[in-house]
Amino acid sequence: MGAFKEPHGGELKDLYLPEGKADLEKEEAKDYASWDLTQRQICDLDLLMNGAFSPLEGFLGQEEYESVCQDMRLASGVLWPMPITLDVTEAFAGNISAGDSIALRDMEGVLLAIMQVSDIWTPDRSLEARQVFGTTDDTHPAVGFLMHESNPVYLGGKIQGIEPPTYYDFKLLRDTPSELRGRFRKLGWRRIVAFQTRNPLHRAHQELTFRAAREADANLLIQPVVGMTRAGDIDHFTRVRCYEHVLEEYPEQTTQLSLLNLAMRMGGPRETLWHAIIRKNYGCTHFIVGRDHAGPGNDKNGNPFYGPYDAQELFTQHEEELDIAMVPFKMMVYVENKAEYMPADAVEPTDKVLNLSGTEFRRRLQEGLEIPEWFSYPKVVEELRKGHPPKHLQGFTVFFTGLSGSGKSTIANALMVKLLEIGSRPVTLLDGDIVRKNLSSELNFSKEHRDLNIQRIGFVASEITKNGGIAICAPIAPYTTTRRQVRKAVSDVGGFIEVHVATPLEVCEKRDRKGLYVKARAGLIKGFTGIDDPYEVPENAEVVIDTNKLTPDLAAHRILITLEKLGYIR
């Protein structure tokens, strides 16, 4: 291990302009071309401007970018493993030239920085993926981003910071590197071990981080990522409330919590070095690196993208010049007979080790089952349960589809009443006719307007579902693609149950309660579903109902049984 610098040593590149200068530049910038930053670009810019990405002074130019991709080094030879680039559209790039200044704005149009564009180029994104992430398999989140989300043209150039992006949450826990260095100095901390995380912390993490700090004879910084983590991760609001509880478990004055607005790439070994450099900039002297640090999981063929200790190996190779020491993460296990956590390699053959895998933990959380105290802290579990309630407390949507006159509304009404009787959550009925009157009164029955109608229903249903309610929708919804979109939007936030009311056309036509089929046959109504406009039969409906065989009451009851089986009611 190399000799460690003082925690508050090392030059920081603070890219913010002094106040007066920033005001002048703000005026000038009114004439510049404006780029509206994406969420990821805002994270990158934030950490560039506040010095967390020191020694970078802006978004990489082409030569530096190529050198970083290929050799993990800036033109100066300094180790830098991650290309930090500004991706823009061809249309935007077409209007600017090298030497121009451009205004970088947040999503509300607030000017955050000015960039002096030095380079404009179209990168070979699959080469970048191979060089930086070792693969072109787009199941790797960073590769998927590069291939499908990133804009095709990169801009490089120095940054002049005007103001940091605004965040309204957890303000006291968001620090710049100089603020955190200042705090360490004030506390008299000289050796600081940093712990990076994108997950909630449980007892094992508390044990391992505390032991790591003790072994390194250092204080501890818990520095979770709140910028962008992996899709499907627990939201940062819930996580930060959990971290605050875990913080109480450390001996007083040993540990600090600070949030990092980093957009993670899940880039494994290279990302590990990047994390370490950032922590060094924040004034830390040690960095905990675990098994498969920042790993993106498995590739298309089910093989891990990186070996479990690749990150630690790469770190070891560069530890000297990184100038921050690695503390390798030791697996901690709970030994029941000793009633304590121990490093896995210190367990004796006679010890009884208890285990709860991540998958089992999530299952228990999902189903509202008990989570043992040896695994986590009751307050943490309570927060997680609040943020991610079990299915019987989550919102859901029952989405009826079927021909006009198939009986959707009658069954939907019966279901609504039964759910109100159970009384577990508020219920909203979005019947076809109600929606047509209140949400979609200007729409007709063209394909385009029907799609819009269903998308609106889907949007309202997903909002209701997200907030823990029950939405019952009963439009015709004749097209598969649109139904699939609604399923996706709602499933992201809660349950989605599709019910196909499969009453045959002949029966609907015979009933013809509203006299519309007669009119459609006579050509008085055009584009009538089932007559001269298609009804695409659903293939994956959770429930299919034949109203010839079931009364509305029994049909609603069958849906209730399905909801019960799926865990949404009990």
Give the binding site for ligand PPS (CB under 6 A).
Answer: 404-405, 409, 432-433, 436, 445, 450, 453-454, 475-478, 514, 516, 525, 527-529
Please give the backbone phi and psi of residue 79, each rounded to the nearest 5 degrees, phi first. Answer: -65, 125
* Six-digit token string for 280: 């060094």
Please give the backbone phi and psi of residue 458, each rounded to the nearest 5 degrees, phi first. Answer: -60, -40
Which entry of 136, 139, 199, 480 is annotated as an active-site residue? 199
Clarify whether 481 is annotated catalytic.
no
Rounded CA gap, 42 and 86, in Å?
A: 10
Which entry of 85, 197, 255, 547 is annotated as an active-site residue? 197
Nearer CB in complex with ligand PPS: 182/504: 504
Nearer CB in complex with ligand PPS: 17/457: 457
Rounded CA gap, 548 and 510, in Å?
A: 12
Nearer CB in complex with ligand PPS: 296/478: 478
* Six-digit token string for 82: 């991650």
In 3D space, the residue among 103, 98, 17, 91 whose CA is nearest the CA of residue 61 turns out to be: 98
CB 274 within 8 Å of CB 238: no
Nearer CB in complex with ligand PPS: 103/454: 454
- Closest residue (Cβ) to ligand PPS? 432
Cis bond leading into 269, ω under 30°?
no
CB 234 within 8 Å of CB 384: yes
The distance of closest approach from Cβ of residue 411 to ligand PPS in the complex, given in angstroms and rounded to an integer, is 12
The distance of closest approach from Cβ of residue 526 to ligand PPS in the complex, given in angstroms and rounded to an integer, is 7
Rounded CA gap, 390 and 365, in Å?
A: 6
The distance of closest approach from Cβ of residue 446 to ligand PPS in the complex, given in angstroms and rounded to an integer, is 9
Nearer CB in complex with ligand PPS: 297/527: 527
Rounded CA gap, 328 and 437, in Å?
A: 63
Please give the backbone phi and psi of residue 28, each rounded to the nearest 5 degrees, phi first. Answer: -55, -40
* Six-digit token string for 172: 């006291």
Clarify whether 229 is annotated catalytic.
no
The distance of closest approach from Cβ of residue 504 to ligand PPS in the complex, given in angstroms and rounded to an integer, is 15
The distance of closest approach from Cβ of residue 481 to ligand PPS in the complex, given in angstroms and rounded to an integer, is 13
The distance of closest approach from Cβ of residue 453 to ligand PPS in the complex, given in angstroms and rounded to an integer, is 4
Which entry of 198, 239, 425, 450 is annotated as an active-site residue? 198
Rounded CA gap, 272 and 327, in Å?
A: 12
In 3D space, the residue among 84, 160, 147, 157 whose CA is nearest the CA of residue 120 turns out to be: 157
Nearer CB in complex with ligand PPS: 180/520: 520
Catalytic residue list: 197-199
